[in-house]
Amino acid sequence: MTVYRRRAAGRTYEFHGLVDLLAKATPRRSGDELAGCAAGSDGERAAAQWALAELPLTTFLEEPVVPYETDEVTRLILDTHDAAAFSSIGHLTVGGFRDWLLTTAARTDAAGRLAAVGPGLTPEMVAAVSKIMRNQDLIAVARAVTVVSAFRTTVGLPGRLATRLQPNHPTDDPRGIAAATLDGLLLGCGDAVIGINPASDSPRAAADLLYLLDEVRLRYDIPVQSCVLTHVSTTIDLAARGVPVDLVFQSVAGTEGANRSFGVDLQLLREGNEAGKSLRRGTVGNNVMYLETGQGSALSSGTHLGTGGRPVDQQTLEARAYAVARTLDPLLVNTVVGFIGPEYLYDGKQIIRAGLEDHFCGKLLGLPMGVDICYTNHAEADQDDMDTLLTLLSAAGTAFVITVPGADDVMLGYQSLSFHDALYARELMGLRPAPEFDRWLRAHGMADATGRILPVDPHSSPLRALASPGVRG
């Protein structure tokens, strides 16, 4: 095991192996303190960041963070590494890579150059460089990256901000879900996906919700995709039975053990991807996977230990989840950044930093990355913090955000963004919805030529029947 040393604040700090160095270099967060791997002081953190900046990028190919022999995610990362794409930056240190990213992001051909090196980057490289970047660095580089995916709408185009419309209901009542869906559509939301977290694990309940959403889509010819966020194995079975499945959802994580705690492995995820693609329900593309991640998931399942039995910091493990996502060619990936709770991200400051890190790492690894800008009710955070993160991520070019009625998810019991929050971000930053959805809004008099959402009486709009109790349940 390599011992890394760096002197700071009048003393010499030692870091025992790459796992320890990455953890100690991470900006402060409660999850790493809970795991016992965080820096003990600002001085130790600064020393670790300095030592990390001097580390050659090739180290991450030689010293796995999680053992190759026991973890299929590590094997995926190293076995699919693109040496040719890495060759142009392989001589750099982590600090040199940061400088290269910032210089490249300022070029007119930034998007192409950043995309070209993406396959040569491992999640650990990207996590490492994020640890020595300021928030503005994360925003500047992420904004320069373009990742586009498509199904019935096109997500990730420059100048666009898509939204997931999340019409959850504590009893899966179809009228409640229809009312929330109407609310969101009238406010220009839903172009990334209309996605329901079901209150029940019942396949029949999931099927009923999928039929409901598909009926709404077909009745009003809305260019959107729907998803019920049930387990991938359930979705595979529903698709085989002819239920109208658009997207295949699954939560994923950065270690084999954490994925096993979700009831999945790489093979099952690939089967889900193939099942969804085989239906060929998309119109402008056939990216069918919808994946969610979140810092702390491996720690919460006790599957966060790496090489030498040392705990791996939660942000590095989060970046490794993006390797799993990358191999599935998804339509959507989002981190539920504050959802797991203050045990992992304690307050607004930590949530904001983690959201920017996750978005930066995901985009740099080639993912159509969005963020559920959210917090739980027992976290030291409030809606002002969410306003700040929404504004920063909109500047950083996030592909989509999640929106719920009134910013309050009454089924999951956490705080996210409202439909109006998305309108604020689009107006402030001059952003539009996905182009196919944008055209639909304008064609039905729900938005003007500039994309501004117009006030509409739901009883006189093309969606008026959604407000009635006659919608199929």
Following DSSP, what letter does each residue of 335-352 receive, concatenated?
EETTTS-TTTS-BHHHHH
- CA distances to 52, 92, 373 from 100, rounded to whole Å, are 16, 9, 29
The reported pLDDT for the residue numbered 468 is: 55
Q: Is the pLDDT of residue 319 over 60?
A: yes
The reported pLDDT for the residue numbered 268 is: 98
- Residue at token pair 């406010």: 187
Q: How far apart are CA 291 and CA 384, in angstroms?
A: 27
The reported pLDDT for the residue numbered 409 is: 95
Q: How far apart are CA 88 and CA 116, in angstroms?
A: 10
- 254-306 residue pLDDT tens: 999 999 999 999 999 999 999 999 999 999 999 999 999 999 999 999 999 99
Q: Mean pLDDT across the chain, nearest whole number? A: 95
Q: Is the pLDDT of residue 472 over 60?
A: no
Residue 105's pLDDT band (cuts 50, 70, 90) = very high
Tokens representing 137? 């660095």
Q: How far apart are CA 232 and CA 211, in angstroms?
A: 18
- 87 burial level (CB within 10 Å; 0-12, 13-18, 19+): exposed
Q: Is the pLDDT of residue 4 over 50?
A: yes
- Residue 453 DSSP SS3: strand
Q: Among the listed ranges 111-120, 231-240, 380-389, 448-457, which one has the minimum average pLDDT value? A: 448-457
Residue 456's pLDDT band (cuts 50, 70, 90) = confident
- Residue at token pair 């089967």: 271
Q: How far apart are CA 292 and CA 157, in angstroms?
A: 20
- Helix residue ranges per DSSP H, 54-166: 59-62, 72-79, 83-86, 94-105, 110-117, 123-131, 135-144
Residue 466's pLDDT band (cuts 50, 70, 90) = low
Q: Is the pLDDT of residue 364 over 60?
A: yes
Our CA angle for 30, 31, 35, nearest 5°, is 115
The reported pLDDT for the residue numbered 1 is: 79
Q: Is the pLDDT of residue 470 over 90?
A: no
Residue 381's pLDDT band (cuts 50, 70, 90) = very high
Residue 34's pLDDT band (cuts 50, 70, 90) = very high
The reported pLDDT for the residue numbered 127 is: 98
Q: Is the pLDDT of residue 455 over 90?
A: no
Asked whether the beta carbons of 38 and 23 are under 8 A apart, the reply is yes
* CA quadruple 188, 192, 194, 196: dihedral, nearest 10: -130
Pairing of strands 149-150, 369-372: unpaired
Q: Is the pLDDT of residue 156 over 90?
A: yes
Q: Is the pLDDT of residue 18 over 50?
A: yes
